[in-house]
Structures are given as structure tokens and as C-alpha cells.
Amino acid sequence: DKADIGVTGLATMGRNLARNFAHHGHVVAVHNRTQNRTTAFMDQHRDEGAFLAAGSVEEFVASLRRPRKAIIMVKAGAPTDAVIEELAAHMEPGDMIIDGGNALYADTRRREAALRERGLHFVGAGISGGEEGALNGPSIMPGGAPEAYETLGPLLEDVAAKVDGTPCCVHVGPDGAGHFVKMVHNGIEYSDMQLIVESYDLLRQALGLSPQELADVFREWNRGDLESYLIEITTEVLGHTDAATGRPFVDVVVDQAEQKGTGRWTVQSALDLGVPVTGIAEAVFARALSGHPDQRTAARSLAGPQEKGAADGADLVEDVRRALYASKIVAYAQGFDQIAAASAEYGWSIDPGAMATIWRGGCIIRARFLDRIREAYEARPTLPTLLVDPTFAAALADAQVSWRRVVATAATIGVPTPGFSSALAYYDALRRDRLPAALLQGLRDYFGAHTYRRVDREGAFHTDWSGDRVERPA
Ligand code: NDP
């Protein structure tokens, strides 16, 4: 009697994932470096399904049916490497190690290549949905070899979230593709959240609405185009009252945002790929700015605008709703561009529509909106940017006047909206006939002889700026 699958690392995520597999009728081997955790797990959950508790890595591997499938749910980085090494030492060709942690895709590529040399499969699987998702159905983004997915896929699809009967799990692509897509998912999550908090901040500052009143605004928004998990939980958090003080919860929390690194990784990768993910970058930087209390204290004396509030409440609420939707379309368009760029760079052949499909449920950015992205890519798989999909183009056209008013209002009353502003700047830059990049090229040629191309002739040219100012082919 062997286990169908094993989970090593029984902290929040691993524990719930193991239970999820058991709830679906699979025999699950469980293991944790510190054995107390395994014992505690068995004490609490043994009645929920068929578990085989292992005291050592050797025992854990031996308890798995071949080809063995062992999921690692430990801290990303060096701990993951250590656990891979221990598992691999006891495994045989054809066995699989699945890393469900938040690994950097470059690490996953390295690990996959190293294990492939040893005849083992390594599947980097992004898992989103937090604690609750792991237990009741996460969104799963597995990479690795297609052969590995043949036997592993059905198990993962079984425990993944389902939307309209479709599992939120698909083979993303080879080696690090799954972790890459999970990373961009988190990056999009950053920008989604940034846009939400800007909406809250602007409406509160401009109109003096209370957190409770704003909870009602978001509740209303959740009935329309913006319907999503993040808007839903915004209602919950804004409506929550601190038990100790009786004040709105949001007013007793220190206003310095933390980050674990996936947003930063997304931006770092985007810089390397040359993809403008301005929404994600602004979100990462907004968190960073919040975490500099000394500078913020010093800067409080700087001059601000005379105007502090906006005139028309009802109109501004609707304008902000539209600005949020438009900026969100931009943020997702940028994220999907990054996936497309990496897919081309690494030869992953990622299907963007399939990514939208598996993000519809189980994960943090799950939203009604993702169905529209899926439809957009189904209608036109080679869409140059999501913005030009007819549905999204119409939504942007519909929103743009409001969007401009929101950015103008925010600037006038001095409320920072880097997400809204940068998304609008991106939209306006992309739709421009001519960009000032032409002048930039001129400057580059002037000081560094970097050359430029002409609109009317092929080839590269240089003007002798310091001499006769005659243009010559470079
Ligand atoms: P943690 O990231 O807190 O990791 C704790 C687990 O790692 C424990 O089981 C611990 O074992 C084990 N561990 C740490 N170092 C080692 C080591 N050197 N060798 C063996 N085991 C080690 O757990 P989480 O459940 O929060 O997350 C697991 C993974 O899932 C992480 O990569 C995380 O980024 C990712 N993730 C987390 C989400 C979340 O919402 N928490 C959501 C999605 C992904 P011991 O008990 O012996 O200390």
C-alpha cells in the first residue's frame, strides 16, 4: 500500500494541500523536516482521509507508488535545494519532484536541467490561492516536461479549483514556465491591489467618505465589471472595526507595506525582457515608498495644493470606478505581454488564453474579467496587445474621459495615484502616432554618436553634430 502522492513541508500550504489530495480520495504520504509537525498533522487530520506519515525522507520516498510524485512545500531558495537533494538521492529514473513553493523561475530552470540529467522529472508548479485555496482548490500553474504532466496532471487537476467545470490547472510549458507565470500572476496581483488602494485613498481624501461608506462603494462595484476576489475582500477589510479601539481597522494599521519579493522579481524580469510593466513597477515602488518613514516624516513640510477636496461626489465615485477598470485592463495587458515575451525568449509556447482560464478561480486575482481575457485570446490568439481587443478597446473608450478626470483631480488635490496615472500614460503613449522617442534618438546621436534611423530611408545614420552637421550613413 503505497501513496499516490506525497507532500513534504507541512506548514500552512503543505498541510492544506495534503488534506486537499486526501479529501479527493488519494492516498497521501506526509513528511516534514521537524517531525513534531508531522505528528501534529496526523493528530489533527488523520480522520480526513488516507495518510501515510513518514519520519524520514527515505521512508517518505519509499512510501510513494512509482513513478513517485513528491511535492515540496518549503521555504523558497536554499531550503528547496536542500530538500530536492535529499529526495533525489532516494529516487529512481522516471520519478517526479514537484516544487509548489514560490520559486524564482530561473532557479526552476536550473533545477529542472540538473534533475533531467539524472533521469528525474522536476515540475515547478506555481500554486496560488493562499491557505484557503490550497485546501479547497487553488489555481495551479505547472511547468516541466509534458511527459511528467501526463501522469501528474490528472492529480493536480483533481484538487485544483473549478470554474464552469473546467479545472484551474493546465500544463503551462517546459521547465520554468509555470513558476514564471505564477510570478507574473503575483505581479498583476500587486498592481490590482495598488489600483484598489488608490481608489480608496482618492475617494476618502476627495469626498471625506468613511471606511464604512467606502466598503459600501466597493460592495456595489463588486456587482459589475470589477467583480473579483480582491474587490470582495476590500469590502471586508474596509468594513472591519478594530475591537480594541472601536476605530476603523484600516486606521489602526501601520501604513508601511511589506513585500515578499515576487512583485520585485516580476519587474526585474520585465526590465531584462524590455517589457514595460509600468503598473506592476509603480505598485512595487509604492510599497517601497511607504516603507521609508524617515523620509516621509521629513517631507511632510513640503508644499501641497490649496484645493483639498472635489466637488461632485456621485460623479467622482463613478469616475473612479471607470478609471479603476481601465487601469486594470492596462495592468493585465502588460502582464500578458511579459508572459508572451518570456515565452518567446525561452521557447515555452505559452497559450495566453489558457492562463486567463486557470486564473478564473482559486487564485488571488480571480475575477469575472478573466473570462473576457480568455475570450479575447480565443478570438485572436496573436493579439498584439489586449488593449486592441474590440471588447477592451470599447471599454477603454467608454472609460477614458472619467479616467482623465480622475488623474486630473488626484493631481489637483495632491493625492498620489501612480497606478492610475502611469496606466493612462501607457495608454496614451501606445496610441500615439509619433512619440518623442525621435528627439531622444537625436540626443543620443548628438552626445554619443549612437546613430538613428530615418522615416524615409533604410539604414542607420549619424549627423556630425560637432563638425559640419552633415548626415552620413553610419
Ligand atoms: P513556509 O514558507 O513558512 O516554510 C515552512 C516550511 O519549510 C516548514 O515545513 C519547514 O520545516 C520547511 N523548511 C524550511 N527550511 C527547511 C529546510 N532547510 N529543509 C527542510 N524543510 C525546511 O511555509 P508556507 O506553507 O507558508 O509556504 C510554503 C511555500 O509555498 C513557500 O515557498 C511559499 O512561498 C509558497 N506559497 C505560500 C503561500 C502562502 O499563502 N503562505 C501561497 C502560495 C505559495 P520545519 O517545520 O522543519 O521548520
The residue-averaged pLDDT of 127-145 equals 97
pLDDT at 444: 98
- Among residues 112, 157, 189, 198, which one is catalytic? 189
Which of the four pLDDT bands, split at 50, 70 and 90, describes residue 307? confident
Q: pLDDT averaged over the chain?
A: 97
pLDDT digits (tens, 9 = 90+) for 294-305: 999 999 999 999
CA atoms 281, 235, 102, 170: torsion sign? negative
pLDDT at 6: 98
* C-alpha span between 109 and 114 (Å, rounded): 9
* C-alpha span between 107 and 76 (Å, rounded): 10
What is the number of the ligand 1 atom nearest to the C-alpha of 9? Answer: 9
Ligand 1 atom 38: residue of nearest CA: 130
State the distance from the centre of ligand 1 to the C-alpha of 60, rounded, in angstroms.
18
- Among residues 69, 182, 282, 328, which one is catalytic? 182
pLDDT at 312: 72
* C-alpha span between 156 and 142 (Å, rounded): 9
In the block, cell 477592451 appears at 392
Q: Ligand 1 pocket test: which of 16, 32, 73, 108 has the largest number of ligand atoms within 8 Å of its C-beta?
A: 73
Ligand 1 atom 29: residue of nearest CA: 101
Whether the predicted pLDDT of 178 surpasses 80: yes
The residue-averaged pLDDT of 416-441 equals 98
Question: What percent of the chain is modeled with pLDDT above 70?
Answer: 100
What is the number of the ligand 1 atom nearest to the C-alpha of 11? Answer: 25
pLDDT digits (tens, 9 = 90+) for 314-358: 799 999 999 999 999 999 999 999 999 999 999 999 999 999 999
Residue type, 169: C
92 has catalytic annotation: no
Ligand 1 atom 30: residue of nearest CA: 101
Ligand 1 atom 13: residue of nearest CA: 74
pLDDT at 349: 97
* C-alpha span between 172 and 358 (Å, rounded): 10
State the distance from the centre of ligand 1 to the C-alpha of 105, rounded, in angstroms.
17
pLDDT digits (tens, 9 = 90+) for 142-159: 999 999 999 999 999 999
2 has catalytic annotation: no
What is the number of the ligand 1 atom nearest to the C-alpha of 79? Answer: 18
Buried b (16+ CB within 10 A) or exposed e, 308-331: eebeeeeebbebbbbbbbbbbbbb
What is the C-alpha radius of gyration for the chain, rounded to an integer number of angstroms? 25
Which of the four pLDDT bands, split at 50, 70 and 90, describes residue 242? very high
Ligand 1 atom 12: residue of nearest CA: 74
State the distance from the centre of ligand 1 to the C-alpha of 1, rounded, in angstroms.
28
pLDDT digits (tens, 9 = 90+) for 90-106: 999 999 999 999 999 99
Whether the predicted pLDDT of 219 surpasses 90: yes
pLDDT digits (tens, 9 = 90+) for 429-455: 999 999 999 999 999 999 999 999 999
pLDDT at 309: 78
Residue pair 72/10 in contact (Cβ under 8 Å)? The answer is no
State the distance from the centre of ligand 1 to the C-alpha of 104, rounded, in angstroms.
15
Whether the predicted pLDDT of 311 surpasses 80: no
Whether the predicted pLDDT of 313 surpasses 80: no
What is the number of the ligand 1 atom nearest to the C-alpha of 37? Answer: 46
Pocket of ligand 1 (CB under 6 A): 9-14, 32-34, 37, 73-76, 79, 82-83, 101-102, 127, 130-131
State the distance from the centre of ligand 1 to the C-alpha of 342, rounded, in angstroms.
27
Cα 235 from chain centroid (whole Å): 21
The residue-averaged pLDDT of 409-414 equals 95
State the distance from the centre of ligand 1 to the C-alpha of 131, rounded, in angstroms.
12
pLDDT at 469: 97
pLDDT at 223: 97
Residue pair 285/314 in contact (Cβ under 8 Å)? The answer is no
Whether the predicted pLDDT of 260 surpasses 80: yes
Q: Ligand 1 pocket test: which of 7, 8, 13 has the largest number of ligand atoms within 8 Å of its C-beta?
A: 13
State the distance from the centre of ligand 1 to the C-alpha of 77, rounded, in angstroms.
10
DSSP state of 64: B
